[in-house]
């Protein structure tokens, strides 16, 4: 059979299995359900299901590659968009490794110029250095470093939602997306009626966009100042972490001159105790208000959460449904307890296919782990792999079923 038929059959087995659990989102009957179909490769939208059992029956019969549900609640989810009757929407965040600068993409991501065929590693350039072409075929991968970076951003986001916005653990739901990141949903009446501009304000806060670092004017002299609430407090905490661990090279790399870098490095204890601890920012001779502001801007970038801003502001957004398979990996979208984020292992908890092996021809793939097993690297070779690994490689365009 073809590789596509193989993946289709495995997805069909998954959705037809009585043991497969698809958790129902709240108010299922008020949400639009959408699907990306395997064979036709088209998006099917504006579906409505009265119960999760009806949805599971549909999945077993139609076998989509991807399943989505609306973040919004509607009077009539099956109607066209302008006739649905919007009732409100959850507040949803998408944290994806694609939006986070990581060094690992230079090792496992590839691009090929569609015009001349020139290929290289990492992110595609704006234009091909060989022919000037601006269209590329890309191959991405998901590794432990990618997902570790996404987890760090998710941790920062949750901290902001809890401590700055006051959302409770019961109102925040966190999921592995099934591919390269995490989804965070806030479900509470307080957010349902927020419009696009309201959500944009939240996005700006989470990302630190437009944040003005505080200063006070005292006796006609500019004085640096950080309060103990909201972003000012976050910057103080972040600056404390950064100063504690910094090297002279770190300081130079953010644009500080050698002399100032040396002062900050040698006066760490004084800065932590007097400047950050007591707010006496003028305690270190040679470090100006401009330097503190530059450090604060850098720390702001470290402390902000790198989310997909478009997802959060879209009040009609479709998001992947919990418990369903991701068409680019064959892994599941999985919800887990908020307090388990640090220990959550997507390469164990999101594996859907636990039995069988498959003979594959692998074009190229870096070393990767699924469960307790490590595979690869492979390049232009035939191997026998567990079903979950085979589905992952085929979905990522790195392998084909061997004859």
What's the mean pLDDT when you consider all of the chain? 94
212, pLDDT greater than 90: no
220, pLDDT greater than 50: no
* Residues labelled catalytic: 94, 96, 308
CA angle 298, 304, 306 (to 5 degrees): 115
Give pLDDT, residue 222: 67
Give pLDDT, residue 101: 81
To which residue do tokens 């478009």 refer?
310
Q: Which CATH superfamily groups domain 215-303?
A: DNA primase S; domain 2 (1.10.8.160)
Give pLDDT, residue 39: 79
215-303 and 353-403 agree in CATH topology = no
pLDDT top residue among 347 and 403: 347
**Partners of 176 in beta bridges:** 182, 334
Domain map (residue ranges) of the chain: 3-97+144-202+308-352, 105-139, 215-303, 353-403
Q: CA 111 to CA 365: how far, in whole Å?
A: 14
Question: Percent of the chain beyond pLDDT 90?
Answer: 88
Which of these ranges, 7-16, 18-27, 103-112, 236-245, has the smallest mean pLDDT? Answer: 103-112
Which of these ranges, 196-205, 279-288, 351-360, 388-397, has the smallest mean pLDDT? Answer: 279-288
Mean pLDDT of 169-194: 97
Contacts of 320 (CB under 8 A, 6+ apart): 66, 67, 68, 177, 178, 183, 326, 333
Give pLDDT, residue 216: 55
389, pLDDT greater than 90: yes
Q: Which long-range contacts (CB under 8 A, 24 or more apart) does 299-304 make?
A: 299/235, 299/238, 299/239, 299/242, 300/208, 300/211, 300/213, 300/231, 300/235, 300/238, 301/208, 302/238, 302/242, 303/156, 303/208, 303/234, 303/235, 303/237, 303/238, 304/156, 304/206, 304/207, 304/208
E-strand spans in 193-329? 215-218, 221-224, 318-320
- Residue-wise pLDDT tens digits, 65-100: 999 999 999 999 999 999 999 999 999 999 999 888
Q: CA 243 to CA 298: how far, in whole Å?
A: 12
162, pLDDT greater than 60: yes
- Residue-wise pLDDT tens digits, 111-147: 999 999 999 988 899 999 999 999 999 888 989 999 9
- Residue-wise pLDDT tens digits, 277-316: 999 999 999 999 999 999 999 999 999 999 999 999 999 9
Mean pLDDT of 152-159: 97
Indicate the CATH number of 353-403 among 3.40.5.50, 3.30.540.10, 3.30.460.90, 3.40.120.10: 3.40.5.50
345, pLDDT greater than 50: yes
Instruction: DSSP letter for 180, please.
Output: S
Give pLDDT, residue 228: 87
Give pLDDT, residue 214: 59
Is the CB of residue 204 less than 8 Å from the CB of residue 231?
no
Mean pLDDT of 5-32: 97
- Residue-wise pLDDT tens digits, 25-47: 999 999 999 999 987 889 999 99
Q: At 210, is the pLDDT very low, low, confident or very high (cuts 50, 70, 90)?
A: confident
Give pLDDT, residue 205: 97
Q: Which CATH superfamily groups domain 3-97+144-202+308-352?
A: DNA primase, PRIM domain (3.90.920.10)
For the chain, the 3-state helix, strand and coil shares in percent, each to the nearest 5, are 40, 25, 40
């Amino acid at each position: 059979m073809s590789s596509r038929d193989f993946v289709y059959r495995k997805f069909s087995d998954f959705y037809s299995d009585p043991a497969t659990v698809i958790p129902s989102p709240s108010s299922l009957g008020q949400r639009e359900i959408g699907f990306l179909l395997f064979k036709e490769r088209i998006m099917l939208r504006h579906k409505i299901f009265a119960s999760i059992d009806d949805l599971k029956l549909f999945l077993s019969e139609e076998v989509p590659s991807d399943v989505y549900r609306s973040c919004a609640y509607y009077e009539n989810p099956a109607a066209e968009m302008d006739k649905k009757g919007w009732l409100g929407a959850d507040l949803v965040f998408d944290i994806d490794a694609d939006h986070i600068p990581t060094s690992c993409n230079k090792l496992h991501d590839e691009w090929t110029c569609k015009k001349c065929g020139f290929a290289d590693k990492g992110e595609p350039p704006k234009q091909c250095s060989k022919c000037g072409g601006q269209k590329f075929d890309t191959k991405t991968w998901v590794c432990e470093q990618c997902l570790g970076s996404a987890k760090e951003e998710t941790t920062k986001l949750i901290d902001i939602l809890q401590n700055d916005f006051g959302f409770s653990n019961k109102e925040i739901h966190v999921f592995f997306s099934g591919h390269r990141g995490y989804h965070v949903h806030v479900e509470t009446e307080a957010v349902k009626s927020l419009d696009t501009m309201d959500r944009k304000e939240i996005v700006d806060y989470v990302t630190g966009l437009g944040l003005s670092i505080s200063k006070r004017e005292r006796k006609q002299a500019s004085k640096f100042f950080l309060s103990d609430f909201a972003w000012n407090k976050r910057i103080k905490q972040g600056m404390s972490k950064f100063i504690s661990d910094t090297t002279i090279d770190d300081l130079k790399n953010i644009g500080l001159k050698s002399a100032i870098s040396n002062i900050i490095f040698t006066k760490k204890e004084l800065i932590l105790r007097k400047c950050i601890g007591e707010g006496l920012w003028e305690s270190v001779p040679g470090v100006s208000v401009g330097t503190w502001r530059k450090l604060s801007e850098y720390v702001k970038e470290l402390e902000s959460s790198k989310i997909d801003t478009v997802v959060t502001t879209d009040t009609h957004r479709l998001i992947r449904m919990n418990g369903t398979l991701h068409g680019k990996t064959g892994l599941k979208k999985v919800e887990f307890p908020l307090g388990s984020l640090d220990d959550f292992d997507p390469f164990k908890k999101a594996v859907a296919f636990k039995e069988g092996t498959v003979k594959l021809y692998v074009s190229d793939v870096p070393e990767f782990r699924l469960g307790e097993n490590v595979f690869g690297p492979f390049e232009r070779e035939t191997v026998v792999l567990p079903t979950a690994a085979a589905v992952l490689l085929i979905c990522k365009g790195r392998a084909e079923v061997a004859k």
